[in-house]
Chain A
Amino acid sequence: MDKSVITRAAVAAVLALAVAGCGTTSGDGDDDSGSSGSEGQSAFTAPDVPMAESLGDNEGELSVLAWPGYAEDGSTDPSVDWVTPFEEQTGCDVSVKYFTTSDEAVTLMKSGQYDVVSASGDASLRLIAGGDVAPVNTDLVPNYADIWPYLKDRDWNSVDGQMYGVPHGYGANLLMYNTDVVTPAPTSWSAVFDDADSNAGKVTAYDSPIYIADAALYLMKTQPDLGIENPYALDDDQLAAAVDLLKAQRENVGEYWSDYLKEVQSFKTGDSVVGTTWQVIANLAQDEKVPVEAILPEEGATGWSDTWMVSSETDHPNCAYAWLDHIVSPEANAAVAQWFGEAPASAKACDVAEKGFCDTYHAGDEAYAEQIYYWTTPIEQCLDGRTDVSCTTYQDWTRAWTEIKG
């Protein structure tokens, strides 16, 4: 328990630094020093963004920024559609923009063009600190009451007990392999790390610095000497070990993917035969008759826990709240979860989902949910509670990722 307290304190401290940084840059003087004086602040206060107090008439328009598969309007598969019912019920015309990495989501949200965003844990805090999203008044979201309690008020979706969004669903990054080529069937992430050379040139990996956590998780289980407790809290030595592992992996990587359709295609043509994936990609590949299977390896996995957030600059707050309520309604939440392949956030979604679906994804199983290492932004204060050493930041990871790709 005190671990999470320390984590929160650490996050708060870093946010304080970041916010202090915002303050100095907003001045127009070129000689403003970015760092001076910011250590003096003790408590984190999120940027002062007003929260909606009441709702009015829908504005008729909504711009959605989402992970692929989170806002389907039937154009991918006619039976997969939860956008059209929303448009019919609320009169809000939805336009959807998909993003492929959390970094892209943060950059796009900073443009202020989108009303709502599905943010993973490695994007949500950056959005809150940047003042890009507004606190969410959960009283105005009736379906919020049905969300699993263990998803509420977490480090990645709230500050000081104030929710900044509505939890949507969570899941694990899986290992996908071509069943014709990769035999025997892999059970461990070693298929893409230590044993990757048996499929040299046909291994694929996710093209984002956050993938370093996958290597760290593997090292955590296979090399306990390194002392990795949390794949998002790496000191310099631990990061170096993960980087070495990924550099060795690169020798066998055919290509990295960030565009999910590109991964489907490269598994289809046989240019990739094994690598990390999402359930929705495996589903799409199987729809196209590609012989693939996606498994949760024995080491466990990194994963995501996503939150729908509202832009601080939205011109359509009523449609935005209507979307938040719709997306965690039992029907829509179940539909998204089944399409994307993740555990729904709403307890009632399990009543309308296919029989056994929620058991497969362990929805509602708090102990299982705690075992997935959800994407989190690595920060200087170690997230695993160590205080004797400073951890590597996402900037370090970004640089390391460029170096890994060479």
Chain B
Amino acid sequence: MAEEQQSPSGGGALLHRHPRLRLGLLLGPPMLWLGVLYLGSLAALFITSLWTVDAFGGNIQRVWNLQNYRDLFTIDVYRTITGRTIATAAAVTVIDALLAFPVALYMAKVASPRLQRVLVVLVLTPLWASYLVKAYAWRGMLSNDGPVEWLLAPLGGGTPGYGLVATVITLAYLWLPYMILPMYAGLERLPDSLLEASADLGASSATTVRRVVLPVLFPAAVAGSIFTFSLTLGDYIAVRIVGGTNQMLGNVVYDSFLTGNNMPFAAAVATIPVVVMLLYLAAVRRTGALESL
């Protein structure tokens, strides 16, 4: 016994005797990653937004000023684009929540365990296909001679064409799994006994959904909405493919950098989604949804 308890030799011994060193080595690299690369790039973004660029060569002038932010606030078009982007993100989030709720409820509470697994796989499958393939598929679907037109024409409708509606449809499709999965996980934790108790006490299905299911679902829906909202906020590719003439914040960032060669202004525009997301998270925190996740 005594021999076995001898401390291991070499580096292992050192680590064994110094728990703090062990902890430091374990947490150091990921913290470095988080602190330097992740937060550092955000800081670099913010610092860059306080510089300007010379008109011809596109070289950055390291002169501190707030001109980029002044332009953002004073030129109307950027307010319009910010408003459009937030509205699109909100619409996508609401549509995804409405679509995901019945699917998640069915998966968690109605489907047999076998079917449940099949449904989870089906929900996840689209995530394996490339974003671009899916976006271009919607471009084909919504085009002038595409399937949507063909389906709706007999009903007196037609394709909405390329524009904001098409963008919302495409993004709602792309991010739907990110809403279904948290909702499914949330509902799975809801014990069946609660539903039965509610029924035994005479509540109708609607009342049960409203008083029992929704309160449990809310934190899960909030978690899902963080994905759908933030992913939409930063998107610039889908809107280029199906968005017609519309531009979102991501396009302004892209164009400022690539067309105008104006990295500082692109950085200033890029802080808008960051601020919007921080406000959104603060609002979410106040509802208490984050604690019960």
Contact = CB atoms under 8 A, between A and B. Distances in A.
A263 B105 CA distance: 43
Pick the most buried of B60, B62, B81: most chain A CB atoms within 10 A of its CB. B62
A17 B261 CA distance: 17
A218 B59 CA distance: 33
A403 B64 CA distance: 26
A126 B58 contact: yes
B59 A25 contact: yes
B259 A34 contact: no
A405 B245 contact: yes
Contact of B245 (A14, A18, A255): A255
B55 A394 contact: yes
B56 A406 contact: no
B62 A25 contact: yes
A116 to B, nearest CB: 21
Interface stretch (B1-9, B117-125, B142-150): B142-150
A29 B143 CA distance: 53
The size bracket of the interface on B is 35 or more
Interface stretch (B23-31, B194-202, B213-221, B250-258): B250-258
A5 B289 CA distance: 70
A21 B64 CA distance: 16
A405 B78 CA distance: 11
B62 A32 contact: yes
The DSSP consensus for interface residues of chain A is helix
B268 to A, nearest CB: 13
Most chain B CB within a 10 A radius of its CB, from A15, A30, A31: A30
Contact of B260 (A19, A30, A398): A398
Nearest to B52: A34
Contacts, number: 121
Given A32-B63, A254-B161, A402-B77, A395 B57 contact: no
A17 to B, nearest CB: 7
A271 B144 contact: yes
B244 interface: yes
B133 to A, nearest CB: 15
A212 B146 CA distance: 32
A209 B52 CA distance: 20
Given A25-B61, A106-B261, A255-B245, A271 B56 contact: no
B56 A405 contact: no
B162 interface: yes
A107 interface: yes
B247 interface: yes
Nearest to A405: B247
Given A34-B54, A403-B75, A107 B161 contact: no
B75 A130 contact: no
B80 interface: yes
Given A254-B161, A405-B245, A405-B247, A18 B261 contact: no
B229 to A, nearest CB: 23
B161 A398 contact: no
Contacts of A101: 258-259
A379 B143 CA distance: 40
B260 A106 contact: no
Most A-side CB within 10 Å, residue of B140, B161, B162, B260:
B260
Interface in B48-82: 52, 54-64, 75, 77, 80-81
Nearest to B243: A255
A293 interface: no
A209 B260 CA distance: 9
A80 interface: no
Interface in A88-133: 101, 103-104, 106-107, 110, 126, 129-130
Contacts of A126: 56-58
Contacts of A253: 244-245
Contacts of B64: 30
A72 to B, nearest CB: 24
Interface in A19-39: 19, 21-22, 24-25, 29-34
A256 interface: yes
B88 interface: no
Nearest to B245: A253
B143 A269 contact: yes
B262 interface: yes
B255 A255 contact: no
Interface string B63-107: 110000000000101001100000000000000000000000000
B261 A103 contact: yes
Contact of B56 (A24, A32, A379): A379
Given A107-B261, A405-B245, A405-B247, A34 B63 contact: yes
B56 A15 contact: yes
Contact of B59 (A15, A22, A402): A22
B259 A208 contact: yes
B144 A21 contact: no
A107 B254 CA distance: 12
A398 B259 contact: yes
A74 interface: no
Given A254-B162, A269-B145, A271-B161, A107 B258 contact: yes
A398 B55 CA distance: 11
Given A101-B259, A253-B245, A255-B244, A403 B77 contact: yes
A201 interface: yes
B158 to A, nearest CB: 12
A352 B152 CA distance: 54
Contact of A106 (B52, B54, B58, B61): B58
A270 B247 CA distance: 22
20 contacts: A21-B61, A25-B59, A29-B62, A30-B63, A101-B259, A106-B261, A208-B259, A254-B161, A254-B245, A256-B245, A269-B143, A269-B144, A269-B145, A269-B146, A270-B144, A271-B144, A394-B55, A398-B262, A402-B247, A406-B81
The 6 closest A-B pairs by CB, nearest first: A34-B61, A18-B56, A21-B54, A398-B260, A269-B143, A103-B259
Interface of A: 14-15, 17-19, 21-22, 24-25, 29-34, 101, 103-104, 106-107, 110, 126, 129-130, 201, 208-209, 250, 253-256, 266, 269-271, 377, 379-380, 393-395, 398-399, 401-403, 405-406
Interface of B: 52, 54-64, 75, 77, 80-81, 140, 143-146, 161-162, 243-247, 252, 255-262
